[in-house]
Chain A
Amino acid sequence: MSVPRFWREQQNRYNLIGTHCTTCNTYYYPPRILCPKCRREGKVVEHQFKGTGTVVTYSIIRSASDQFNDLTPYVIAIIELDEGTRLTSQVICEIDEMYIGMPVKRVFRRLGEDGESGPIFYGTKFVPA
């Protein structure tokens, strides 16, 4: 990933900063600047998520792209944050620990790097709570 592409969303990724439509009281992470429910009537403001949630569904990746090959097998999951929005993240745990409905919390990890000499990308992953 290019430096500006990552840098632009760094705060979102580091601190789970998403958005909240105060018109319809819907939370968005990943952030949306346009509320799909209210569209132009929506008033969308920044919101920091607490970082706790529940596993909705998951898979254990055995075959990955180059960038993630060293991590296999690793768990990816769709997580519903307590505020009600969903995101996709790795869950750092033993693979046989995983179950649907598992409570999870945020941790700060490396998301990847642009080769050995390139920038390192940090952000949020989850662990069992």
Chain B
Amino acid sequence: MVGIITYGAYIPKYRIKTEEIARVWGGDGPAIARGLGVYEKSLPDMDEDTITIAVEAARAALARRSIDPQDIGAIYVGSESHPYAVKPSAVTVGEAIMATPIMTAADYEFACKAGTAAIQTTMGLTKSNMIKYGLAIGADIAQGEPGDALEYTAAAGGVAFVIGNDSPIADINLTASYSSDTPDFWRREGLPFPRHGGRFTGEPGYFKHILAGSHLMFEKAGTKASDYDYAIFHQPNAKFAQNVAKTLGFTPEQIKPGLCVPYLGNTYSGASIIGLAATLDIAKPGDRIFVTSYGSGAGSDSFDITVTDMIESEEFCRDAAPTVEQLLATKKIVDYAVYAKHKGKIVVMR
């Protein structure tokens, strides 16, 4: 069956506290942090971007399982912060893991769900035997305008999944998607920061699509929340994910391993699937995992996943790359000035 052959994550080591951002903009730090359920967010180093994050995640995936990179027939990188507007991130990743040149590649954008769209595409290509393995990546150095609510959560990180049919560590039993034209959040061509519809992003955007997509999956699979060991939802903040989980009947314990946002922030295209990676970090054979991503604009992709015996086999070495928990623990807190420099928010005229 088609599934996850291996996976790897990467999170830059720098963090800024929600309270520090609030200090600069005159917000009530502790209240904002509590309200969002987000206390720290990651930010990239001066020489990191979506491509370097994607490469590190892909290399982590390949470190865990010895597969020939030349067998990777497709690479899709989902992000809303590709370093180039025109010139694919995916080929730089391909070159950096020595998967080029016999492969297809493209960059994806669907707000925060471009990573799961990449997984679905590679599922199709591998299931139809067009390629042996596909590499699907969600990575971002998320943009949030200084002073905007997004700034409290927009974070940096990424995750890579190798998808294939050849003894996966986790079978992807089913996938289901729900899409509509809903302008809750966007970034116009050539502009540095996204804009959003404020509270409109909630009910008609996030909740409608995640709930509809998740119900679609329940129907397709003939399951209910209690049939799963773990669940992961797109997490722009902790509150949204907790609410949607509760509405669908999942317990706080089921979503706990995959709820990374409180000390990571929203890594946009990486957000839901870093949660999946964190869950795979601790999963055992037989565990069933429910995932629903969300991308503004808008749409959701759901997955029904069953962890296989391969995850504990000699062929797969979880310890060969850092877990999400380890990546989150490796951190350096910076102040707003350093954050602004790292994010290119200090404009130097040369």
Q: Does a CB–CB distance below 8 Å link A and B in the complex?
A: yes
A binding-site residues for B, Cβ under 8 Å? 10-11, 14-15, 66, 70-71, 92, 94, 107-111, 120, 122, 125
A71 touches B47 (CB 8 A): yes
A-side contacts of B68, CB under 8 Å: none
Q: Identify A92's interface contact among B45, B59, B83, B350, CB under 8 A.
A: B45
B48 touches A70 (CB 8 A): no
B55 touches A120 (CB 8 A): no
Q: Is B201 an interface residue (CB 8 A)?
A: no
A-side contacts of B52, CB under 8 Å: 107-110, 122
Q: Identify A122's interface contact among B46, B59, B92, B348, CB under 8 A.
A: B92
A70 touches B46 (CB 8 A): yes
Q: Identify B84's interface contact among A71, A111, A120, A125, CB under 8 A.
A: A120
B-side contacts of A125, CB under 8 Å: 47
Cα distance, A107 to B332, chains bound together (Å): 18
Cα distance, A129 to B96, chains bound together (Å): 20
Cα distance, A111 to B51, chains bound together (Å): 12
B89 to chain A, nearest CB (A): 10
B binding-site residues for A, Cβ under 8 Å? 45-49, 51-52, 55-56, 59, 83-84, 92, 95-96, 98, 332, 341, 348, 350
The 3 A-B pairs at the shortest CB distance, nearest first, are namely A108-B55, A110-B47, A109-B47
What is the chain A residue whose CB lies nearest that of B344? Answer: A70
A67 to chain B, nearest CB (A): 10
A110-B52, A122-B51 known; A14-B95 Cβ under 8 A? yes
A49 to chain B, nearest CB (A): 13
A122 touches B96 (CB 8 A): yes
B56 touches A70 (CB 8 A): no
A71 touches B95 (CB 8 A): no
A14-B95, A120-B84, A122-B96 known; A108-B56 Cβ under 8 A? yes
A107 touches B56 (CB 8 A): yes
B-side contacts of A92, CB under 8 Å: 45, 47
B319 to chain A, nearest CB (A): 16
A-side contacts of B350, CB under 8 Å: 66
21 contacts between A and B (CB under 8 A): A15-B96, A66-B350, A70-B46, A70-B341, A70-B348, A92-B45, A92-B47, A94-B332, A107-B56, A108-B59, A109-B45, A109-B47, A109-B52, A110-B49, A110-B52, A111-B47, A120-B49, A120-B83, A120-B84, A122-B52, A125-B47
